[in-house]
């Protein structure tokens, strides 16, 4: 509020750059109502201020507000740029709205952004999240230069659909062949796929490879390992992955308890449940 007061009293009250920065500050702090208030007080708006609002709503999960702001911007005569379209794609992915995604994709092509690598990556991610893995894969194949973001998006999309497990494995091989730097998101997705198809040998290979790349892994990776080993019937390995985790969450405990129960270790499941209750 002190910053607001200084701006209103000073000579920057009507400065477009300062006003846009103020809207951006509120949006990045998650205060979209305040951002909207200051946006509405602006006597003049530019692409930066529109992009801040459209992107802010998309990031905060207000997809409908992001779409409404986008339509208002178009009615005002502004032409979307790469930042605008990236935010709209994010909103499409958040609400899994395939119709809006198709419309946005058409607009991207119409405005000449079809070969824009970053937007293509966002399109792949959006189609994958809308469960249109085939469309995501077609876009991926059309990319002249593949990158880790688009590859990761496609692998995650394939991981959600069990009938696309082979496609995910093929993309994983591509990443290795292209010597791209991998992160825990990719490893988690691949471990989950191995669990879904009960491929223990492949799961062990990816686990070993992940340890070479990143000796320390986070909770999500630990949970994926517990789940994979439990689904493959290797309950002792699942228990070892559980014990090696420095931090555990609800999924960690329930995955191992479910694994024990599924494979006939009811007494161990009860003992682990009691241990969990004692930890509070």
Rounded Cα–Cα distance for residues 280 and 276 (Å): 7
Contact between residue 70 and residue 54 where contact means Cβ atoms under 8 Å apart: yes
pLDDT of residue 15: 64
pLDDT in tens, 208-266: 988 888 777 789 999 999 999 999 999 999 999 999 998 999 999 999 999 999 999 99
pLDDT of residue 181: 81
Rounded Cα–Cα distance for residues 49 and 247 (Å): 41
CB-hemisphere CA count at 13 Å for 120? 20
Helix-strand-coil split of the chain, %, nearest 5: 75, 0, 25
pLDDT in tens, 155-194: 888 877 767 778 888 888 888 888 888 888 889 989 988 9
Rounded Cα–Cα distance for residues 113 and 264 (Å): 56
Tokens standing for residue 153: 């998006």
What is the distance of C-alpha 20 from the center of its chain? 27
pLDDT of residue 105: 96
Predicted TM-score (pTM) of the model is 0.75
pLDDT in tens, 25-65: 889 999 999 999 989 988 889 999 999 999 999 999 999 99
Which residue reads 């077609």 in tokens? 138
pLDDT in tens, 61-87: 999 999 999 999 999 999 999 999 999
């Amino acid at each position: 509020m002190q910053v607001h007061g200084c701006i209103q009293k000073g000579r920057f009250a009507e400065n477009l750059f300062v006003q846009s920065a103020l809207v951006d500050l509120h949006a990045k702090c998650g205060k979209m109502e305040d951002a909207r208030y200051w946006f509405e007080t602006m006597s003049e708006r530019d692409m930066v201020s529109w992009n801040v609002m459209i992107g802010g709503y998309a990031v905060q999960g207000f997809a409908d507000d992001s779409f409404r702001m986008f339509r208002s911007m178009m009615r005002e005569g502004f032409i979307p740029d790469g930042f605008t379209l990236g935010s709209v794609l994010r909103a499409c992915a958040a609400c899994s709205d395939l119709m809006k995604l198709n419309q946005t994709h058409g607009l991207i092509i119409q405005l000449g952004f079809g070969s824009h690598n970053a937007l293509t990556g966002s399109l792949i991610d959006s189609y994958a999240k809308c469960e249109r893995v085939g469309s995501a894969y077609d876009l991926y194949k059309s990319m002249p230069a593949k990158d880790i973001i688009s590859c990761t998006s496609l692998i995650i999309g394939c991981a959600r659909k069990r009938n696309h497990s082979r496609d995910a494995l093929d993309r994983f091989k591509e990443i290795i062949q292209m010597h791209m730097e991998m992160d825990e998101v990719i490893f988690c997705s691949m471990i989950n796929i191995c669990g879904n198809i009960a491929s223990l040998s492949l799961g062990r290979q990816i686990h070993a490879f992940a340890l070479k790349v990143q000796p320390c892994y986070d909770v999500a990776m630990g949970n994926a390992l517990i789940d994979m080993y439990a689904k493959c019937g290797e309950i002792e390995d699942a228990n070892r992955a559980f014990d090696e985790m420095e931090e555990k969450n609800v999924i960690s405990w329930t995955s191992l308890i479910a694994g024990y129960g599924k494979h006939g270790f009811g007494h161990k499941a009860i003992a682990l449940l009691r241990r969990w209750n004692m930890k509070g």
